[in-house]
Amino acid sequence: MGGVMQGAGVSPGVGSGPVRSIAGAVPEPPAGARHGGDAAAETDTALAALEAVAADLEERGERAAAVGNDDGRDVLNAQALMARDPGLADGVRGAIGGGTAAARAVFDAFGVYREMLAGAGEYMAARVTDLDDIRDRAIARLLGLPVPGVPESDEPFVLVARDLAPADTAVLDPAQVVAFVTEEGGPTSHTAIIARTMGVPAVVALKGATTIADGTRVLVDGAAGTVLLDPSGSEVSAARAAADARASALRESTGPGATRDGHAVPLLANIGGPKDVEAALANGAEGVGLYRTEFLFLDRATPPSDAEQEKAYRKVLEAFPEGRVVVRTLDAGADKPLAFLPAPGDEPNPALGERGLRMMRLHPDVLSAQLSALARAAAGLTVKLQVMAPMVTDAAEAAFFAAACREAGIEHPGVMIEVPAAALRARDLAPEVEFFSIGTNDLTQYACAADRQIGGLAHLQDPWQPAVLDLVAPAAGAGVSCGVCGEAAGDPVLACVLVGLGVTSLSMSAPSLPLVRAALARHTLDECREAAAAARAARSAGEAKDAARARLPGLADLGL
């Protein structure tokens, strides 16, 4: 077949082996399929299938935890909750009561939820694949078909799929699966998250991935986002040598983040709760740049108690006595719907609706309780607690949040820059708060009008787009400290560009920290500035990346 295929690299590293594809696609049950007349029995059968799927997911979760994959267990437990959702069961009962056969009733009930999630913003859209997997597992049981799953192999292999379900990825053996390649997905999909946790190279949004024939030998570069078909022995050897050189360089790169000429750039970790602290510390995080507190609130009918919140916050704060912890207040709303915070009426475009701070202004008691719990958690500790609000658009919203922080006893308020209007007018927001944190995931999606979960729009979902860099620049130059906490911060080449634009700290998933630290340590601040200027002068994302790389000579030492 030959040639190089380009996708989006989401987990660094090099893996080579034969392709094995996910097998056992489940067909859609025929539209209009009817049961034999016993609605009660048909309902019992359908609900039993959903319960069996839930139990299997939980069992897989325990297997994942047994090999140290706590993230995988959490993902699978969340899927089990989806399978047991009372609203889903009601939808199945209603369809079967109208005469629809069990398999079709399950398909249609999931379809309602699927449409809601697909249009509900980045976080929930990334869960559509999870929902499809639960649906297909239930339908396979109802139709007597094999449940979809990972193929068996007598040698290590590269797993290729349209997308991967958490139920499969969470129990994979990294000694057997040397890389992931998917045709769909994005940097925030569960495939990407679990690949990074496992330390397995992964490339997503690779158009044509599923056309690669089983058995084809490939070379996957999870940093460059490339898949080389039918590589020669010398090409594999060269790639592995570069990976070894990179690993050696990473072992030598320790200490606080800084450029070669000593310009400090604190390197922080993105976390979802206390369970992520160990990995952050192991990878040399100087603190936390994004504590996603919504994971305390998801999948609950009532909000966590004040004491529960305070305990979760304090565990993280205590882990960084000499550093900083940046907490994002509850990012709830259209893209992360919560049972106890219903959206105000129908929203035809939920991703642009009442979310983040907009939602908290509708529920000030929830915001006040969270800020007060944070203030109590930080009492008596030496860590610097910074608290920021998501989805802020203008100076008035920034001022509102800062006032709420002061009232609760929070000394260091900030806001996220993820709305293009806020980036363009950052100078208006700066006098109201102490710091900014740029969320490049949403900023890119909003600036380019491209849902980051749609693989066909990967070329627009790229933070290397010069227009996105143009939005980072005014925020970084507005006169307050400005970090980046989106996935862009974990790209070692783009990290140098961001520093060149004036960004003062970088926060990323913990496994990305060593490579970013090493990349910065090999370049001066002036080289980073030259790379940033060259990237902004380009006309496309690809040209921007090439222009920046040409001005960052130290990348060769890392095999980048």
Give pLDDT, residue 193: 72
Beta-strand relationship, 217-221 and 202-204: unpaired
Give the model's confidence band at 479: pLDDT under 50 very low, under 70 low, under 90 confident, else very high: very high
Q: Which of 465, 437, 391, 488 is nearest to 187 (CA)?
A: 488
Q: Between 535 and 177, whose confidence is greater?
A: 535
Average pLDDT over residues 25-41: 90
Give pLDDT, residue 167: 66
* 311-329 pLDDT per residue, tens: 999 999 999 999 999 999 9
Distance in angstroms (rounded) separating the CA atoms of residues 423 and 411: 23
Mean pLDDT check: name the lowest of 31-45, 183-197, 251-265.
Answer: 183-197
> Identity (one letter) of the amino acid at 73?
R
Q: If residue 373 lies in a helix (H) or strand (E), which one and from where to where?
A: helix 364-378
Give pLDDT, residue 142: 94
Whether 350 contacts 120, CB under 8 Å: yes
Give pLDDT, residue 227: 95
Give pLDDT, residue 7: 86
Mean pLDDT check: name the lowest of 171-175, 327-331, 434-438.
Answer: 171-175
* 400-420 pLDDT per residue, tens: 999 999 999 999 999 999 999
pLDDT at residue 172 tops 90: no
How much is the pTM? 0.71
pLDDT at residue 345 tops 70: no
Give the model's confidence band at 164: pLDDT under 50 very low, under 70 low, under 90 confident, else very high: confident
> How close are the terminal C-alpha atoms of the chain, in Å?
25
* 268-315 pLDDT per residue, tens: 999 988 988 998 998 999 999 999 998 888 767 788 899 999 999 999
* 494-545 pLDDT per residue, tens: 999 999 999 999 999 887 899 899 999 999 999 999 999 999 999 999 999 9
Distance in angstroms (rounded) separating the CA atoms of residues 425 and 514: 34
Distance in angstroms (rounded) separating the CA atoms of residues 455 and 357: 29
Structure-block tokens of residue 114: 């699927």
Give the model's confidence band at 1: pLDDT under 50 very low, under 70 low, under 90 confident, else very high: very low
- Out of 405, 485, 496, 528, which one is annotated catalytic? 485
Give pLDDT, residue 339: 67
Mean pLDDT check: name the lowest of 2-16, 95-109, 325-339, 519-533.
Answer: 325-339
* 255-268 pLDDT per residue, tens: 999 999 999 999 99
Q: Between 359 and 189, whose confidence is greater?
A: 359
Determine whether 523 is an active site residue. Answer: no
Long-range contacts of 546-552 (CB under 8 A, 24+ apart): 548/493, 548/494, 548/496, 548/497, 549/493, 551/527, 552/493, 552/496, 552/519, 552/522, 552/523, 552/527, 552/528
Share of the chain above pLDDT 70, in %: 90
| CA atoms in the 13 A half-sphere facing the CB of 500 | 27
Whether 96 contacts 39, CB under 8 Å: yes
> What is the Cα Rg of the chain in Å?
24
Max mean pLDDT range (85-94, 162-171, 519-528): 519-528
Give the model's confidence band at 165: pLDDT under 50 very low, under 70 low, under 90 confident, else very high: confident
Give pLDDT, residue 356: 87
- Out of 35, 190, 363, 523, which one is annotated catalytic? 190
Share of the chain above pLDDT 90, in %: 56
Mean pLDDT check: name the lowest of 60-69, 230-239, 550-559.
Answer: 60-69
Whether 558 contacts 515, CB under 8 Å: yes
pLDDT at residue 68 tops 80: no
- Sign, CA dihedral 182-186-187-192, equals negative
Q: Between 39 and 343, whose confidence is greater?
A: 39
Average pLDDT over the chain reads 88
Determine whether 485 is an active site residue. Answer: yes
Q: Which of 282, 269, 326, 284 is nearest to 482 (CA)?
A: 326
